[in-house]
Every structure is written in C-alpha cells, then in structure tokens.
Structure 1
Amino acid sequence: MPRDFRPSDLTLPELLERTAARVPGRTALSFLGAQTSYAALWRDARRLALALQKMGVKKGDRVAIMLPNCPQFVTAFYGTLIAGAVAVNTSPLYVAHELEQQLVDSGSETLILLDSFYPRYEEIRQRVPVKRVLVAGIQEALPFPKSVLYPLKARREGTWTEVDYGDAAVLPFAAAVASQPPEPRPVTVSSDEPALLQYTGGTTGVPKGAVLTHANLIANCEQSRAWMSDLRPDQEITLAAIPFFHVYGMTVGMNLSVLTGATMVLVPNARDIRMVLGQIQTSRATLFPGVPTLYNAINNHPDTPNYDLSSVRACISGSAPLLHETARRFREITNGANLVEGYGLTEASPVTHVNPVQGEQEDGSIGLPLPGVDALVVGEDGQPVGTGEVGELWVAGPMVMQGYWQKPAETATTLKEAFGRTWLLTGDMATMDERGYFRIVDRKKDLIIAGGHNIYPREVEEALMSHPAVLEAAAVGLPDAYRGETVHAVVALKPGAQATEAEIIAHCRQLLSSYKAPRSVEFRDELPKSAAMKILRRELAKDARERRGGAAG
C-alpha cells in the first residue's frame, strides 16, 4: 500500500473546475432520472456564487446549507466556496431549537434550505443572525413529468409547504441561480483557509464546529484515492446514500467523486431501502460508501433478493463499528462486493484508517493508516503503549482540523503538541498489532466498568448480532449498586423473528465471559439513529437509566 503522500495545494472550487474541464459532458449528478453534467454543475455553482455575492455574501462569511442529497446541495456547497464563503453543514433532522443553536454559534447570515424545512426556520427567525434565505424544492431537480407530479402528490399527502416569497430576504433557489451569468467576482482563497464548519458532539456531546480547511478536505480525498488504487478515472458510479451534510458523505461520497470524475447517484433518503436497492440496480453503481446500519438493513430487507446488486465492487464502511456478520452477509448478497471497515472522525475530515481494498483485510479491525497519516496508541502517561495494549488513539496528518470554531479551550484539549507533531486525540480506545493493523476497542465515554472489569460495548454487540433473530443491537452501561455498572442490551429483532430475554442472555454467555454478558435485555422495534444512521448509544443509556430511576453515570 502507498505510504508516501504529498497533498496538493488545490482549493475545492479548483477541484471541480479541473474535472469540469477534463470531462465536461460526463454525468456528475444523477437524481431520480435527472442528469447534470460536470460542465452544468460548474456553471450553476458559479451562477450561485454570483447570486450570493450580489446579496452581500463576502469572503469568510458563513453560509448554512440544510438540504438532503439532491443536486441543489452540490451546487450550494461549491457555489458557497466559489463566492469565498465558508459552508456550514446543517442536518435536515434538526428541530428548530437545534437549528437555532447552530446558526447562532456559526454566525451564519445566509441559509440555504429545502422548502419543507422552512417552517422550522420561521419558528426561530427573530432569534438568529440570518439575513437572507434561499429556498430549494425537490421538484426543481426532477425530470418531467416527475417535476409536475411531485407537488400534486405532496399536496394530496399533506406534505406540501407554501413559502411566502413576499419577503425580500427570502428567495427561490432556482430563480437565484438561473438569473445570473456564470461569472462570479474573483475571490482569492488559499488552501489553508477555512472551507467548512462541520458540527460534531465530539467526546462531550456539546456541539462544536470543526474548522476544516480546503487543504484538509482535499488531502483526505487524495489520501482516499491513493488508498483505493483500482479506482478508474472518469468511470466510477458512486451511490451517494450517505448524507453529504455528514463529513463522511461529503468527503467519500461527494468530493472524492469530483476528484475522480465519478457520477454521483443521489439518494435523498437512505432510510428508504427500496429506493437504495432500486438506485443500485438502475445505475449499476460501482462504489457504495455506507454505514453498518445501512448495509445491515439491506441484508435483512425482504425485497433484497429481487434486486441485482452485482455491479458494486467496493464499499468502505464508516461512522460506526462494522460487525463481522453484517460484512459477511453483505458480501454474500452482492456476489463478493469488497466491503471493508474504515475509521475516521469529523475533526480529521474524516478518514484516517481503512482496511486494504486490494490486499489482506482483517475483519474487526479498522485497517491501516491512510498515506500521510501517523497514528499512535497512547497510555494514560502520555507515552505510546506496547503492541497489543489498549490506549487512546492519536492521529496526525494534513487532514486534521484547524480547531473548533471559537472554542479555544476545547481545541486545546483535543489537539496536542507532542513528539514533534500536532496530534488529534480521538477519544477512542484502540490497539495496534504487530503488523500495524488497528482495532477500536470502544469510545472512552462508552466504556462500561463492572466490578472493576473494563467492558467494551462493541464486543458485547458482536455477540448480540450473532444471534439469528437479532437485527440491530446496542450495549450500554447502567448504574448498579454492587458492581458499579452492569451491561444492558437493547435489541431489535428481524421481522417475524422471536426471542426472549433469557435466550438472548444465554446466547451471549456462550460467547462472552460472564461479567461481560448482558444482565438485562430491552426489545425495541427500531434503535434510534443519528442523521448519519449511527446507533445512538447515549440516548439508549439515558432512556434506560430514566426508566430505572437511576442517575446518569
């Protein structure tokens, strides 16, 4: 695998400009039957940049983007950067209060959002710094006749949102783009200047904006391309189901596609598994970055056998641990798609480790550091631990953030100068074996300590997931007067499957030491997930503790 790495000094607009010049007619975006070429994407991004500039957006201003995976997202992101502004990725799942917090913290004076999200903005508009709003509609990106039928369907179902454009500060996105020539005012931006504020809870759960530069994001794309050595320039088709507002989807789904001239097949709702399956079959997608819950949902969907998924060649799973059974089943139903586990975090743009896509993989490991990434496993004394020993994972490289937006104290506890480098302290507990493969044992904050024993949820979850009736599982710690904490399992069963608490516990006791096995099991129809489809352990733990009347640990 390549180890030497020298990142380029490109900015993200330059990345898109180069690809549009190289393959102008190649399809950049495929959205439910509508096709957008790279030349058209570059044109529309520049038109939007000029529209933003005319509305008063200046270099360094923050522009919040609250859109699903649709053509307008890609236009909005690159148009914002061409205008010299900084994008602020904003989850479409945010309720009004969360949206208010992010807009205030980022100081965003411009908001680009989908029409159906507009009512949430209206709730808080008097309390946020937003001066101008661009409103996009899904129907504007659809081909005829879907573009006409979509509003009729939405009105019939009661999901249509009317936006009052009488306010001069509220403008239709499509009209703003179409009314401008593709000639934005030149803005000089260097690669070491901020491109993105990506909000993350980090290890504390308090939202913080990771400041990611053009150089950070470009470097991580180039690192990923170097690792995936068999990528075919201007030929790949990426199934873009992971949301672009999540940094993993943005880097591996969107920016890597632009770098390599791939076609992005945009899936606005990854929870619609039939849509995901249909888009794979119709587009003949070759690359499918995803998360374990998405692969697991495909594995267990009753319609999966009816679809041809054989075009998929490579998948990198991120955002959460990839359990062995999930990987095995997915490879089976796709006739050998190369599904490998990777690892990253928002503050690293995000990818730092991946199993070899070509070469020897180790199930259960996050693989090897990407080219240009240095990684250490560090003990409580701040010194590297021995091979096979558990410590905190530290990473360094050109993809590591500048810091947290306007939070110097939090930055100082996360970025550390040591051994001649600036290290990002991940908060994840890991080991490294004699061949250099890393394994994440679990998050520091998720560690369960029962009777003096350290129990890592991932190990318990592997045992739970190996039960034939279990669809999804999470292990959390609950307060226990005698042991300090005890292991509590939360599971969702496969459709039509049955299992009792006693059966689940007995199954785990066959695979785990007695102190690691769950002492209680809670059954749910579905486990709560983040916008990036990561199972929310902390929410499950909080719910279970409240029901028991115990204090949060």
Structure 2
Amino acid sequence: MSLEKRPWCSHYPQEVPQTIDYPDHVLTDWLLQAANEYPEHTAIQFLGRSIPYQELLSHVYRLAHLWQKLGVKQGDRIGIMLPNTPQAVIGYFATLLLGAIVVQINPLYQEKELAHQLSDSGTEILLCLDLIYPRVKKVLPKTHLKTLLITSLKDYLPPLKSWLYPFMQKQPKIDYDESTLLLAKELEQVRDTPIQSPLPSNDSLAILQYTGGTTGLSKGAMLTHRNLVVNVRQIHAWCYRFQRGDIRILGVMPFFHVYGMTTVMNFAIYLAGTMILVPKFEPLQLLRAIHRYHPNVFPGAPTIYASLLRHPQVNKYDLSSIQACISGSAPLDRELQDQFEALTGGILTEGYGLTEASPVTHINLIWDRKRSHTIGLPLPDTDCRVVDPETGTELMPGQQGELHVKGPQVMKGYWNQPGETKSALRDGWLATGDIVKMDESGYFEVVDRKKDMIITNGYNVFPREVEEVLLQHEAVEEAAVIGVPDLKRGELIRAVVVPVQGKAIAEKDLEHFCRQHLAAYKIPRQIEFRSQLPKSAIGKVLRRVMKEEALRTIEPK
C-alpha cells in the first residue's frame, strides 16, 4: 500500500520500520531459545518464587509428556482455566509444543459461558484451579471433557507460603479418579526430557481465543502461530528500546485474555524477559509487587492505573522502575495519563486492539513527546480504512465510519462459525465494529462501538460522547450510557453513574450539566446511581450486561 494510503508511516520514529521481515517461527521456538541462551535468567517471578528459564522449560517438557500419556495429538483442544500463575504459562507452552490448540477460559466464568466455550471448542482436557473445580463439575454433562487436571496456587509458592496456604484458603472437596487428576502428583511420574513430536507449522492454529462476549455470546477467534508471532514482532518494533534479557513485565493483565497473553507472556518469552505474575488484581498487592520486583513495563487498563493513583498508601511505594505503560480495553483519560506519568516518571500511552487481531493494531508513540488523545498510529504492516457502515464506501480523513483492519496478525476466522466469519472478514479486511475517525496524519480516534449506538427519535447517539461529558462532572467517578426500548422514541438514553466517594450528586444536577455540553436529544432521560459498574476481567465496562438488566425491569405494555 502506498504512503498516500498509509499516511501514518511518515510519522513513525526513524527506529520503527514500515515493514518487518517475519521468520517462520512458532511460539515455542522462543522458549527453547531463551532457555538455551539464558538458562539461569528468571522467567517467572511469582509471589516470592523465582523460576529460571531452564526450570520453566523442564516443567513444560514434563507436562507435554503428560499430555502425550493422556493421548493428546496435533489439533486437539486443551482448555486452560487459570489466573496468572506459573501453571498457566507451563500449560500454554506444553500444549503448543505438541501442536495442540490452547483454549483460554476465564476462571471467573459462570456455568452458562463456561459450558458454551467448552462445548463449542470440543475441549476434552481442562487444566483448572482447585478452587473452581465445583463450578466445572456442574457443567461436565454439557461438555466433551474427558479429563480434568487440577492444580493449586500453593503448588508454585515458596515453601513457607505453600505450607500456610491450606490454612488461609478453604479447599473444596475433589474426588480424584482416572478422569480427575492432580497435576503435581502426575508431573512426578513423567520425564523432563525434550519432547518427541512433529512440530506445528507457522500457519497452524495455536489458540482458540474467545471474544469477550461484550455484545453477545462469545465466538472462538482462530489465531495461528504466525498471527501471534507477527503481533509480538510488531509490538517490539514499536517498543524498540527494550532489549533482549532486560525486560521485566508486570503481569496483572490476565493471560486468558489475548491482551495479557500477547503483551505480557508472549512478549516476555520472545525477549527472554521476566514476567512478574499477579494472579489477582488488588491495588495494594500491585503496589507492593512494583516496589519489590521493579518492573519496567506495565501493560494495563485505565481502571488499574486509576486505582493505584487513588490508593491512600501510593506514596509509600517506589514506582520509579516503570518506564513504559501501554493502556488498552477502554479510553485513557488525559488527566489520568498526566498524573500517572508524574507519579512514576514513566510513560503511559494508549493503544488499541481486538481479539481477532491478536490483538494489537494501533499504539501511540512512546518515546516521542507528541501527545494525542487518540489510539495512535497503526503498527507496521497494518492497513486501516474507515468505511461507511451501511454502504462500505471508504471515507475521507475526519469522517466517522467503521474501522476495517488488514494485516498478518488478523485471525483466520471464527471456530465453526462460517457465517460470522464471512460477516467479519471481507476480502481480507476485518470489520471491527468500532466507529472511528482518522485525521490527515493517520492518527485514529475511537468514537464508539457500532453495536452500542443508540437511536432515539431518529437521531444516532454514541454512548461514549455522553459518557465523556458525564465524566467531566467533579462528582462523577464512572459513567456508562445505554439505550433502553421506548415506544415513543424508539430508545431512551439511560446513564448509569458511580459517584465520587464522599460527594453527593442529584439527578437534576447531572441533567443540567449535560444540557450545557450536549444537544437536547443526547441528554440522558434516565439516570441510575450505582456503587460500581459491571466490568470484564480486563476492566472493560460491560454495557451489554446493563442493557440486559434494564430489559428485565421493563414490564410488558
């Protein structure tokens, strides 16, 4: 594509190439290389335990041998339902080493979504935490599962913490038999020698990564080794100052989400870096981890950065090791950005991606001080266009339309969903469902989700625009806007607001405030106050959940 079609390339730093030569690697190549070159370098830091690369590879070999013992072959799907723990990393690479396919499952999922993903993917083996075993057991009849492999947080804790763990955490009763196995016990019975198995090809499936379900039932995005390898190389080209063996990444973004999997786990292994794993997000524990382990890279979400800034003990901890933070999953507020940079001395910048693109497609410049309230520029080898959502006509800079993305990081399609695949992939272009606009320089700004658009009295209203106004009010901590059915207007605009702690606010005050900043048809007709908003595991506000809740309260006329 010409520079005229890729205006963003002229704004790349000189260190960032417009195109990259991608070797024919699979993800496990990076682990083998890191263990060979940096055998004693710490791969994982987990609640006080350090695991060097050679030891990590040994555990991966053991689990791969166990998978073989259980009959796993190329193309089989293995579910991993774990928080950020060493077992999550080991299970991931052991599965890929055999040419099998990882199915990442959110351990917070309840029975409906869990049964759907296990059944839809055809997963026959599941590696899961002992604490969630009761939930998994309930859905077994609805799935194809043949083997459960149970692990515990204590399995990879330092000795004292491991000994204390059973006294601190109530353990569920688990009936172990030939189909329900204890990981620690089984690994004692297998070798840690290199695995003998035909290696997968670069174009073979590595992951079935289910979409977050923010707009409906989740779909399995088929991501190949090449998709994931390419995206890590693209990110590293952008983050060119980070060198092999020198990176320490804070792993609070969950690996069961593609953002954490790519920007923490895959990125760290590629650079033979250290992952500082945080199994559960708690602000105080996160502050302590930064203070003790000195990460220099911190992928996160705005809600995470904001929670650290607001913590009453934040000034007791040294956060100066942080050099770069890439924020995703939600819009990054400029004031939050400035405050967090002042606190840490590092750089906080916004990026953009989606599950179907492995996931990163755009990032703002990191070390260039040009500031933009956008999602940034497309990564190398990533083509983007803005089209009219109805006609598909490509639009000019400054016009709002749907973002389409094309690049080697884009998925093969949706698992067992040819209709959905055809709708999302059009001549190689991925229709993202996000409404954006691009300026003359190639910077992209997200306006809103196409599916979240509200039609009231014939007018189109994007929730994000109304939310941004509400968030300007000094007494509003968080806000989300949805449309609810209305016989007269088609849809009513409802705002769900979380007030700032200790500040009183009335519905009429917010209505008056909105009238000063919005057209009359964009003003919320209903305002609901809550103590918190429903969010996904990575901090994304779930408008769909609020809309479903609202629909249940509407009585039939």
**TM class by smaller structure:** over 0.9
Q: For residue 44 of structure 1, report the CA deviation from its aligned partner.
A: 0.9
> 1:154-553 counterparts in 2 under 5 A?
154=169, 159-165=170-176, 167-183=177-193, 184-200=195-211, 204-270=215-281, 272-334=282-344, 336-379=345-388, 380-417=390-427, 422-549=428-555
1:394 alignment partner AA: H
**d(CA) in 2 for partners of 1:409, 1:373:** 25
Unpaired segments of 5 or more residues in structure 2? 1-11
Q: For residue 391 of structure 1, report the CA deviation from its aligned partner.
A: 1.0
**d(CA) in 2 for partners of 1:311, 1:203:** 34
Say if 1:44 and 1:216 are closer, same or farther in 2 by CA, change over 3 A. Answer: same
SS in 2 for 1:511: coil
1:53 alignment partner AA: Q
Q: For residue 204 of structure 1, report the CA deviation from its aligned partner.
A: 4.9
2:377 alignment partner AA: L
**d(CA) in 2 for partners of 1:302, 1:546:** 38
Q: Aligned match of 1:133 in 144, 148, 151? A: 148
Q: For residue 7 of structure 1, report the CA deviation from its aligned partner.
A: 2.0
SS in 1 for 2:349: strand
Contact 2:74/2:100 (<8 A) preserved: yes
Which moves more between the two structures, 8-17 or 475-484? 475-484
Q: For residue 241 of structure 1, report the CA deviation from its aligned partner.
A: 0.4
Q: For residue 202 of structure 1, report the CA deviation from its aligned partner.
A: 6.3
**Match in the other structure for 1:95:** 110
**d(CA) in 1 for partners of 2:526, 2:305:** 27
Say if 1:142 and 1:83 are closer, same or farther in 2 by CA, change over 3 A. Answer: same
SS in 1 for 2:519: coil
Which moves more between the two structures, 481-490 or 367-376? 481-490
Contact 1:133/1:171 (<8 A) preserved: yes
Q: For residue 362 of structure 1, report the CA deviation from its aligned partner.
A: 4.2
SS in 2 for 1:329: helix
**d(CA) in 1 for partners of 2:280, 2:37:** 31
**d(CA) in 2 for partners of 1:510, 1:246:** 39
Contact 1:109/1:132 (<8 A) preserved: yes
Say if 1:329 and 1:471 are closer, same or farther in 2 by CA, change over 3 A. Answer: farther
Q: For residue 25 of structure 1, report the CA deviation from its aligned partner.
A: 1.1
Contact 1:240/1:264 (<8 A) preserved: yes
1:460 alignment partner AA: V
Work out whether 1:30 is the aligned partner of 2:45: yes
Q: For residue 325 of structure 1, report the CA deviation from its aligned partner.
A: 3.2
2:239 alignment partner AA: M
**d(CA) in 1 for partners of 2:487, 2:141:** 48
SS in 1 for 2:21: coil
**d(CA) in 2 for partners of 1:22, 1:516:** 59
**Match in the other structure for 2:9:** none
**Match in the other structure for 1:6:** 21
Q: Deviations over 1:188-235 (max 9, x none)?
A: 210100000001156851221111000001111110110112213211
Which moves more between the two structures, 214-223 or 352-361? 352-361
Contact 2:97/2:199 (<8 A) preserved: no
Contact 2:214/2:543 (<8 A) preserved: no
Q: Deviations over 1:284-343 (max 9, x none)?
A: 111111112222222223332332222211111112222333323322332x32111111
Contact 1:430/1:441 (<8 A) preserved: yes
**d(CA) in 1 for partners of 2:35, 2:134:** 36
SS in 2 for 1:35: strand
Task: Give the total of aligned pairs.
Answer: 540
Contact 1:374/1:397 (<8 A) preserved: yes
**Match in the other structure for 2:126:** 111
Which moves more between the two structures, 443-452 or 243-252? 443-452
SS in 1 for 2:520: coil
Q: Deviations over 1:163-208 (max 9, x none)?
A: 222x112211122233322232222210100000001156851221
> 1:14-53 counterparts in 2 under 5 A?
14-53=29-68
SS in 2 for 1:479: strand
**d(CA) in 2 for partners of 1:497, 1:10:** 55
**d(CA) in 1 for partners of 2:214, 2:286:** 32
**d(CA) in 1 for partners of 2:402, 2:150:** 44
Q: Aligned match of 1:83 in 83, 93, 98? A: 98
Say if 1:332 and 1:500 are closer, same or farther in 2 by CA, change over 3 A. Answer: farther
**d(CA) in 1 for partners of 2:484, 2:444:** 29
**d(CA) in 2 for partners of 1:358, 1:8:** 27
2:552 alignment partner AA: E
Say if 1:511 and 1:262 are closer, same or farther in 2 by CA, change over 3 A. Answer: farther
Contact 1:203/1:445 (<8 A) preserved: no
**d(CA) in 1 for partners of 2:159, 2:472:** 46
Contact 1:344/1:352 (<8 A) preserved: yes
Say if 1:521 and 1:327 are closer, same or farther in 2 by CA, change over 3 A. Answer: farther
Q: For residue 361 of structure 1, report the CA deviation from its aligned partner.
A: 4.4
Say if 1:457 and 1:305 are closer, same or farther in 2 by CA, change over 3 A. Answer: farther
TM-score w.r.t. length of structure 2: 0.93
